[in-house]
């Protein structure tokens, strides 16, 4: 403990009951495993020094990001030391010309996305926990969200990682280029490894221009099976939505109970909803995509389609809204 305190300083080594409890659980059920101490390093060199001590003394180490994980990865099941990445909270460099960002792992995902958006840059992976999960946690769990259908998950956007290995050695796993086919693909080995192979201390992500337009469609279905069948048919029509979420009746009911009221009517006969988003740079082609999707949906027993960015449509056929009016 004295050695660890020397590395991170007194104020960044937590041993109080409340701190241990706070770092003894994540969002996985009601599980609690108390570590013996929590260290908050502030640099790669400090992480390396901590890992060297723990490696030598065979002290179990658990890395922790935002603690939003649902797979128990941040639970210190063997006690020992929790390394919290909370202080690694700086976006280091945004390279607009090469569409890349270099960031520390403790930056909250949404903060990173919003900062990039202000510069017209887009980092697509959007886990629902983006308001409090860290980008390092996202990398370590290979997180994804509704936009995965078009843009993929975290693994599709990571170029390079700085990692402290269990013995304290510091490595870079790849290179900051789009094409890098030499040697082992250590970057992808590290992505999704849930802190079992090392501590990620710096991340280089590739970016793209932020789409200037998007359109959302909310579609009720009379059966969950029809909703699922419609998904495949949308892709077969040649349109790739930028977001696609399926919600069955139970989930809709729980959501309604939670939020109180909904901006769209939910009818007795609605068994499921699909939330469909298209995005891009040309609004006319997005309307054309929505027309195509609507034509597909008509074949799958859907109810009235809502386009929240526009007024609800009047049904063209018996039970389905099909005429797209511009706002
Ligand atoms: C309400 C809610 C909604 C969610 N929605 C989604 C979703 O839409 N999509 C999705 O994929 N997940 C979702 N999740 C799960 C969770 O948010 C993600 O797995 C997220 O990526 C975890 O990030 P975190 O920073 O909270 O990591 P933590 O929970 O702190 O850690 C997760 C794992 O990553 C490791 N780790 C963290 N930082 C590092 C690092 N720097 N180096 C090495 N290892 C590290 C930890 O050891 C652990 O194994 C959701 C969770 C909740 C509670």
Rg (CA), the chain: 23
The class that CATH gives domain 91-209 is alpha beta
Average pLDDT along the chain = 92
The SS3 of residue 299 is helix
**Confidence at residue 309, expressed as pLDDT on a 0 to 100 scale:** 56
83 touches ligand 1 (CB under 6 Å) = no
Domains of the chain, residue spans:
2-84, 91-209, 213-300
Q: Is 60 exceeded by the pLDDT of residue 158?
A: yes
pLDDT per position as a tens digit, 15-50: 999 999 999 999 998 999 999 999 999 999 999 999
Which mutation among 27, 84, 143, 201 tests ligand 1's pocket best, with the greatest number of atoms within 8 A of CB? Answer: 143
CA of 159 to the centre of ligand 1 (A): 19
Give the 3-state secondary structure of residue 58: coil
- Domains 91-209 and 213-300 agree in fold: no
The answer to whether the CB of 104 is under 6 A from ligand 1 is: no
Cβ 106 under 6 angstroms from ligand 1: no
pTM strictly above 0.85: yes
Give the whole-angstrom CA distance, residue 201 versus residue 213. Answer: 34
Q: Which CATH class name applies to 213-300?
A: alpha beta
Return the pLDDT at 317. 37
Pocket test for ligand 1, best of 90, 127, 142, 254 (most atoms within 8 A of CB): 127
Which of 120, 124, 183 lies closest to 158 in space, CA to CA? 124
Using alpha carbons, select from 281, 285, 275 the residue that is nearest to residue 309.
275
* Bridge partner residues of 273 (DSSP): 220, 247
| Straight-line distance from the first to the last Cα atom of the chain, in angstroms, rounded to the nearest whole number | 64
Can you tell me the distance from the alpha carbon of 230 to that of 286, in angstroms, rounded to the nearest whole number? Answer: 19
Q: How many CB atoms lie within 10 A of CB 211?
A: 16
Specify the CATH number for 2-84; select among 1.10.1200.10, 3.30.420.40, 3.30.1390.20, 3.30.43.10: 3.30.43.10
């Amino acid at each position: 403990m004295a050695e660890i305190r020397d590395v991170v300083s007194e104020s960044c080594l937590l041993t109080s009951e409340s701190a241990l409890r706070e770092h003894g659980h994540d969002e996985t059920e009601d599980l609690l495993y108390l570590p013996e101490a929590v260290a908050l390093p502030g640099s790669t060199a400090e992480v390396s020094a901590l890992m060297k001590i723990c490696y030598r003394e065979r002290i179990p180490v658990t890395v922790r990001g935002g603690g939003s994980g649902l797979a128990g990865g941040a639970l210190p099941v063997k006690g020992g030391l929790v390394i919290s990445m909370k202080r690694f909270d700086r976006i280091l460099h945004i390279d607009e010309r090469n569409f890349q960002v270099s960031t520390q792992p403790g930056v909250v995902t949404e903060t990173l996305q919003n900062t990039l958006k202000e510069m017209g840059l887009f980092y697509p992976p959007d886990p629902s926990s983006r308001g409090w999960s860290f980008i390092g946690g996202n990398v370590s769990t290979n997180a994804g969200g509704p936009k995965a259908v078009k843009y993929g998950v975290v693994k599709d956007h990571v170029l390079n990682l700085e990692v402290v290995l269990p013995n304290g050695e510091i490595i870079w796993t790849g290179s900051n280029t789009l094409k890098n086919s030499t040697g082992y693909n250590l970057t992808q080995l590290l992505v999704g490894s849930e802190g079992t192979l090392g501590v990620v201390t710096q991340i280089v992500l590739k970016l793209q221009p932020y789409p200037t337009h998007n359109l959302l469609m909310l579609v009720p279905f009379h059966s969950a099976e029809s909703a699922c069948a419609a998904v495949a048919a949308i892709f077969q029509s040649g349109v790739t939505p930028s977001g696609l979420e399926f919600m069955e009746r139970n989930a809709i009911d729980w959501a309604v109970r939670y939020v109180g009221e909904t901006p769209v009517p939910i009818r007795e006969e609605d068994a499921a909803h699909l939330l469909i988003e298209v995005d891009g740079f040309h609004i006319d082609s997005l309307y054309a995509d929505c027309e195509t999707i609507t034509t597909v949906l008509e074949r799958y027993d859907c109810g009235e389609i809502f386009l929240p960015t526009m007024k609800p449509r009047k049904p063209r056929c018996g039970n389905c809204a099909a005429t797209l009016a511009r706002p």
